[in-house]
Amino acid sequence: MAWATSNISAAMVSNFFAPAAALTYTGDTVNVALYNNSVTPNKNDTFANNAYAAGTWAGNEISQAGQWAAGGVALASKTNTFGSGTAQIGAANTASGNNATLTAVFGCLVYDNTLAAKNAFCWNYFGGSQSVTAGTFTVVWSGSGILQFTIT
């Protein structure tokens, strides 16, 4: 299998109602780790398996020390907003160092790096294979945020 869409896990939503871990978006360090196309993101997998270095996210990470290091780059200027039937989290664009060489990057995992279990908030698909050579890799987050809940 491979990447097909950006998504969250149902278990992450369930965690709101019976917290097994205190996912704290604005208070904790939240990292963005990059992956190749050999992962199989699964919205029905467990909360424990949708975490950094667990489940399908164990292995297949794309990284380069000093540029986009293993474990990912921390989000900056995080926001948590709601209104007009939506709730969303966002952040400033996330960038590597300016001498990165990263090949065949297909998507990223956004996870709570403060928690020991490193549970994920969501994963975001880049729509195809992305690469940089001796340059800067920048994730420009959507105007709809990194993750959005819509109540209609």
Q: Segment 104-143, which members bind other proteins (CB under 8 A)?
A: 105, 107-108, 110, 121-143
C-beta closer to other proteins: residue 81 or 116: 81
- Distances in Å between the Cα of 23 and the Cα atoms of 43, 48, 61, 69, 138 are 17, 12, 22, 23, 25
C-beta closer to other proteins: residue 19 or 127: 127
What is the CA angle 136-102-78, rounded to 5?
55
Q: Segment 72-91, which members bind other proteins (CB under 8 A)?
A: 88
18, 65, 116, 151: residue in contact with other proteins (rule CB under 8 A)? 151
8, 23, 33, 54: residue in contact with other proteins (rule CB under 8 A)? 8
Minimum distance from residue 73 beta carbon to other proteins (Å): 12
Q: What is the DSSP string of 59-95?
A: S-EE-BTTTB-TT-EE--S-EEEEETTEEEEE-S-EE
Q: In one letter, which amino acid is 16?
A: F
C-beta closer to other proteins: residue 5 or 80: 5
Q: How many CB atoms are located within 10 Å of the residue 121 CB? A: 20
Residues composing the chain:
152
Q: Is 18 in the site for other proteins (CB under 8 A)?
A: no
Q: Is 148 in the site for other proteins (CB under 8 A)?
A: yes
3 state SS of 7: strand
- Interface residues toward other proteins, by CB under 8 A: 3-8, 13, 88, 92-93, 95, 105, 107-108, 110, 121-152
